[in-house]
């Protein structure tokens, strides 16, 4: 999917595990089918998963995730990945990596009100955590910092004036005036797990940190249909301006993803199209 992406396969993972964590050396290794773009995932037996960055930019986030998952996990209302071991460069692989506990579940479908309520409650709970010492992250910055790449993506997609109009409406919303709060920053359907009819886990905290909470409202458009969108919003408990900025974040992310991934990641590209349609219909 990316230029400069590392070559990662089952054999590399076997060698890394055997060299660094011999207690797991005999476990079968199999790649996890995923629409994820920054990391490759491999099952280790039934209970573990290895997470390896595809790119150097993702490698810098591995240590960040390892540190903050340990702090966040006991403070959140649903399961998050548990770091069991911290892998280091070796066997020709240049970056740090992780071994995590495997979390069962499937990604959510559109139209699930229970998941919408649960995920909104998760967003609210995360936002309420203490922020002392927490890192500021790029997706916590003001929406206007996305203006140039978003307009570039609109041009790449043919310059549809409806895209520009929806984007400008979001930019017109008042900026966040409160203190920075905790946010996950990448609540795409692929990072949400459902089990037994409800939200069971949230994955991928590589971009988690503090800032404007608007980005964590993107499930309203990339995961839920119109009726469930309102359930999610009520549970997340946000003001009108934050909701409007959240719509802008959903649009910006989808517009940028679509031209980049439409040939290399059909699942992500399809979700980007659906998100754009949802935003246009909603705005």
Above 90 in pLDDT, residue 76? yes
Residue 2 counted as domain residue: no
Q: How far apart are CA 18 and CA 29, in angstroms?
A: 11
- Are 164 and 235 found together in one domain? yes
Tokens of 3: 């230029």
Which pTM does this prediction carry? 0.94
Domain, as residue range, for 31: 10-101
How do beta strands 97-101 and 39-44 pair?
A: unpaired
pLDDT value of position 1: 58
Span 139-176, pLDDT tens digits: 999 999 999 999 999 999 999 999 999 999 999 999 99
At which of 51, 78, 101 does a domain end? 101
- Are 96 and 164 found together in one domain? no
The label of the residue with tokens 């076997």 reads 14
Span 13-44, pLDDT tens digits: 999 999 999 999 999 999 998 766 789 999 99
- Are 85 and 119 found together in one domain? no
pLDDT value of position 66: 95
- Are 153 and 73 found together in one domain? no
Tokens of 239: 């003001």
Residue 203 counted as domain residue: yes
- Are 194 and 70 found together in one domain? no
- Per the CB < 8 A criterion, the answer to whether 223 and 108 are in contact is yes
- Kindly indicate the confidence band of residue 2, based on its pLDDT and cuts at 50, 70 and 90: low
At which of 41, 74, 101 does a domain end? 101
For residue 57, what is the domain's CATH number? 3.30.200.20
The label of the residue with tokens 């719509």 reads 247
């Amino acid at each position: 999917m990316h230029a400069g992406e590392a070559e990662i396969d089952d054999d590399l993972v076997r060698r890394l595990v055997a060299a660094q964590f011999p207690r797991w050396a005999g476990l079968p290794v199999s790649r996890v089918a995923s629409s994820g773009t920054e990391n490759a995932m491999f099952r280790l037996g039934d209970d573990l998963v290895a997470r390896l960055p595809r790119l150097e930019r993702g490698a810098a986030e591995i240590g960040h995730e390892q540190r903050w998952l340990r702090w966040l996990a006991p403070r959140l209302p649903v399961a998050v990945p548990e770091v069991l071991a911290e892998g280091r460069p070796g066997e020709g692989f240049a970056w740090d990596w992780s071994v995590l506990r495997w979390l069962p579940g499937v990604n959510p479908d559109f139209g699930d009100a229970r998941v919408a309520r649960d995920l909104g409650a998760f967003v609210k709970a995360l936002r309420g955590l203490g922020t002392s010492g927490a890192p500021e992250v790029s997706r916590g910055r003001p929406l206007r910092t996305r203006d140039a790449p978003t307009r570039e993506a609109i041009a790449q997609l043919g310059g549809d004036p409806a895209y520009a109009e929806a984007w400008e409406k979001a930019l017109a919303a008042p900026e966040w005036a409160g203190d920075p709060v905790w946010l996950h920053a990448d609540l795409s359907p692929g990072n949400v797990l459902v089990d037994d009819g409800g939200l069971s886990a949230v994955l991928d905290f590589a971009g988690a940190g503090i800032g404007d909470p608007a980005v964590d409202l993107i499930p309203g458009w990339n995961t839920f249909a119109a009726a469930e969108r309102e359930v999610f919003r009520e549970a997340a408990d946000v003001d009108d301006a934050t909701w409007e900025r959240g719509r802008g974040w959903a649009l910006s992310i989808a517009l940028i993803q679509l031209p980049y991934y439409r040939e290399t990641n059909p699942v992500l590209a399809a979700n980007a199209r659906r998100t754009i349609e949802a935003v246009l219909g909603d705005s």
